[in-house]
Amino acid sequence: MQRRHFLTRPPVMAAAAIAAPSLALAAPAILTPQSRILPRQGKGPRIVICGGGWGGMTAARYLRELMPTSEVVLLERNATFWSGPMSNKWLIDIVNTDFVNRDMLHPANKYGYTLLQTEVTGFERDQKLVRTSHGLIEYDFLILSGGIRNDYEAWFGNDQRAIEYTRTHFPNAYIPNQEMLSLKSKVKNFKGGTLVMTLPPPPHRCPPSPYERACLIAWHIKKNKIPGKILILDPKPKIAPISMGYQQAFEELYPDIITHVPNARVQEVDPFNKKIKTAAGEFKFDDAILMPPHQAADMVWQADLIGKDPATGKPTGWADMHNRLYHAKTDDRVYFVGDLMGAISPQFGHYPKSGHVANYIGKIVAKNIAQRVAGKEVTPLLPDNLCYMMVNGDPQEEISVKFEYEVDAASGNVIQHQIDMDVRTPDLVKEDFAWINSKFSDFLGV
Ligand SMILES: Cc1cc2nc3c(=O)[nH]c(=O)nc-3n(C[C@H](O)[C@H](O)[C@H](O)COP(=O)(O)OP(=O)(O)OC[C@H]3O[C@@H](n4cnc5c(N)ncnc54)[C@H](O)[C@@H]3O)c2cc1C
């Protein structure tokens, strides 16, 4: 050992090596996916949160506040936060990029949680470990908050060429990633022709937002006198929610631009020849925003926690969870927050897959975990929901929808009340900006 040591060390390095032998001799610490990373800190429980969007960042803040001795680790694949809310307005420059794209280190440092930019790749739940592209991370409680995945397989099976072509040529930007930039440049460079938008079947992320997107792109077409039309292929029998408000916007503001086709469930997509077959007929397009069905993010599938339809035994596509306490039915150490959550009630199915609900459930789950750790009884809490949608760019006018929830005393089921604000007004624009600023302040700490 001594001899080899001596021989491998060049004489000029000797002094430095003696002073700091580890610097001169130690091999770099190469991490593999099997390495255990992030040794535990402190004595409190460790909660690992997978996905740092609206829900995950909220849960991180409130866990640290409610349990100051806890260690909270947030795992997020993106370097920065991209907001879905306001992103339609950003597409046509009503807000700038700094508004929807934010720093994530500021809230992590302000609230005192660890943020690791990494890809979650799987779980070993029997050992309470998360697998990531950087290595294995231990947890006491796990929160899955990875949002949604695009189920292109529903259209193309395992035809990866068609999936890749669709994703890269007709991006829908419903997941926070580089597609948002691609879609913005598509809208800016749109020279005319028929732009098709396919809407996913319910449940899907932010039900009113595809219609808002159609209105704002139509406004851009109208303002810039582009010879273009928008064809909305909607699987639902009618526009929903805010049915009347959107219908009036389409008819009064964009009668020559927007055509809404109901009952147009997609049957076949040929992205190479720009053709779509639906239950309401066949359509050709010049350009498109193609939204396949939505499902819970890959991480819920990797955790083997996707629900099964009791009648058919087929995967529901969404988390298999307790509808009032938000943990997995088969593993109460694992919680779900945000759009990947499963059904809540036989009356309305899923909570609206919105940033508002993700933020609300993030707080509720933080409270639930804090109560459990303190040995207290867990209070089952309900969220509410609120969405503002811009339908006119000049003057700026919005419509909105509110959902309230309560427990029905007779059946014990959660029931939903929906309040549509169909009359478009500038006042709702003011309320919308007050809403988003209060939410960003809540979980981004700005
Ligand atoms: C165009 C548009 C308009 C919208 N408008 C509104 C609105 O006005 N009001 C409203 O309330 N909601 C709106 N929404 C919906 C809102 O964006 C979502 O409901 C909300 O983001 C859900 O929060 P979440 O935390 O579940 O998911 P997200 O915010 O998507 O966060 C999930 C995070 O998990 C990360 N992630 C996923 N998988 C992995 C992995 N394997 N490893 C590491 N990280 C991973 C993702 O990168 C992402 O950052 C809109 C959405 C869109 C697309």
Does any domain span residue 282? yes
**Cβ neighbours of residue 280 under 8 Å, at least 6 residues apart?**
233, 261, 262, 263, 264, 265
* Cβ(197) – ligand 1 distance below 6 Å: no
Beta bridge pairs of residue 138: 129
Tell whether 346 and 359 lie within a shared domain.
yes
Centre of ligand 1 from the C-alpha of residue 281, in Å: 32
Tell whether 247 and 336 lie within a shared domain.
no
Tell whether 13 and 52 lie within a shared domain.
no
Q: Which residue is it, tokens 């309560």?
A: 406
299: nearest Cα among 141, 130, 72: 130
The first and second tokens of residue 394, run together, are 């000049």
Omega into 395 within 30° of 0, i.e. cis?
A: yes
Centre of ligand 1 from the C-alpha of residue 190, in Å: 26
Sign for the CA dihedral angle at 280, 281, 286, 287 comes to positive
First to last CA, the chain: 57
Instruction: Express each pLDDT in 194-251 by its tens digit.
Output: 999 999 999 999 999 999 999 999 999 999 999 999 999 999 999 999 999 999 999 9
Tell whether 284 and 373 lie within a shared domain.
no
Tell whether 166 and 253 lie within a shared domain.
yes
Does any domain span residue 198? yes
* Cβ(208) – ligand 1 distance below 6 Å: no
- Phi/psi at 426 (nearest 5 deg)? -70, -25
Q: CATH no. for residue 345?
A: 3.50.50.60
Q: Where among 238, 269, 291 does a domain terminate?
A: 291
Does any domain span residue 204? yes
How many residues would you count in the chain? 446
Query: What local confidence, expressed as pLDDT, does residue 24 receive?
Result: 55
Tell whether 38 and 26 lie within a shared domain.
no
- Phi/psi at 72 (nearest 5 deg)? -115, 130
Q: Where among 328, 344, 379 does a domain terminate?
A: 379
* Cβ(356) – ligand 1 distance below 6 Å: yes
Closest-CA residue, ligand 1 atom 27, reads 147
Tell whether 154 and 283 lie within a shared domain.
yes
* Cβ(318) – ligand 1 distance below 6 Å: no
Query: What local confidence, expressed as pLDDT, does residue 12 receive?
Result: 34
Centre of ligand 1 from the C-alpha of residue 175, in Å: 6
The first and second tokens of residue 356, run together, are 């508002």
Q: Where among 291, 307, 333 does a domain terminate?
A: 291
**Cβ neighbours of residue 350 under 8 Å, at least 6 residues apart?**
202, 203, 318, 341, 342, 343, 344
Query: What local confidence, expressed as pLDDT, does residue 414 receive?
Result: 98
* Cβ(338) – ligand 1 distance below 6 Å: yes
Tell whether 10 and 40 lie within a shared domain.
no
Q: Cα dist. 376→279, 343, 370, 372 in Å? A: 53, 26, 9, 6
Question: What strands lie across the sheet with 141-144, from one edge to the other?
Answer: 114-117, 71-76, 46-50, 141-144, 331-336, 327-328
**In angstroms, rounded to a whole number, what is the distance separating the alpha carbons of residues 64 and 209?**
32
Q: Which atom of ligand 1 is nearest to the CA of 302?
A: 41
Query: What local confidence, expressed as pLDDT, does residue 1 receive?
Result: 33
Which amino acid type is present at position 258? I
Centre of ligand 1 from the C-alpha of residue 85, in Å: 9
DSSP code at position 112: T
Q: Which atom of ligand 1 is nearest to the CA of 389?
A: 8
Does any domain span residue 140? yes
* Cβ(205) – ligand 1 distance below 6 Å: yes
Tell whether 286 and 331 lie within a shared domain.
no
Does any domain span residue 88? yes
* Cβ(269) – ligand 1 distance below 6 Å: no
Q: Which atom of ligand 1 is nearest to the CA of 385?
A: 11
Angle at 273 between CA 272 and CA 276, to 5 degrees: 100
Centre of ligand 1 from the C-alpha of residue 14, in Å: 54
Query: What local confidence, expressed as pLDDT, does residue 295 receive?
Result: 98
Query: What local confidence, expressed as pLDDT, does residue 23 receive?
Result: 52
- Tell me the residue range of the domain where 3 lies: 1-30
* Cβ(77) – ligand 1 distance below 6 Å: yes
Does any domain span residue 432? no
Low-confidence spans in the chain with pLDDT less than 50:
1-21
Centre of ligand 1 from the C-alpha of residue 7, in Å: 57
**In angstroms, rounded to a whole number, what is the distance separating the alpha carbons of residues 103 and 81?**
6
Tell whether 123 and 176 lie within a shared domain.
no
Query: What local confidence, expressed as pLDDT, does residue 208 receive?
Result: 98
385: nearest Cα among 412, 362, 419, 413: 419
Query: Is the Cβ–Cβ distance between 209 and 352 less than 8 Å?
Result: no
Q: Which atom of ligand 1 is nearest to the CA of 132?
A: 42
Does any domain span residue 424? no
Query: What local confidence, expressed as pLDDT, does residue 13 receive?
Result: 34
* Cβ(207) – ligand 1 distance below 6 Å: no
Q: Crossing angle for the helix pair 54-66 and 426-444, nearest 10 degrees? A: 50
CA atoms within 13 A on the CB side of 345: 17
Q: What DSSP string runs through 124-192?
A: EGGGTEEEETTEEEE-SEEEE---EEE-THHHHTT-HHHHHHHHHHS----SSSTHHHHHHHHHHT--S
Tell whether 166 and 278 lie within a shared domain.
yes
Tell whether 180 and 280 lie within a shared domain.
yes
Does any domain span residue 70? yes
Structural domain total, the chain:
3
Centre of ligand 1 from the C-alpha of residue 193, in Å: 31
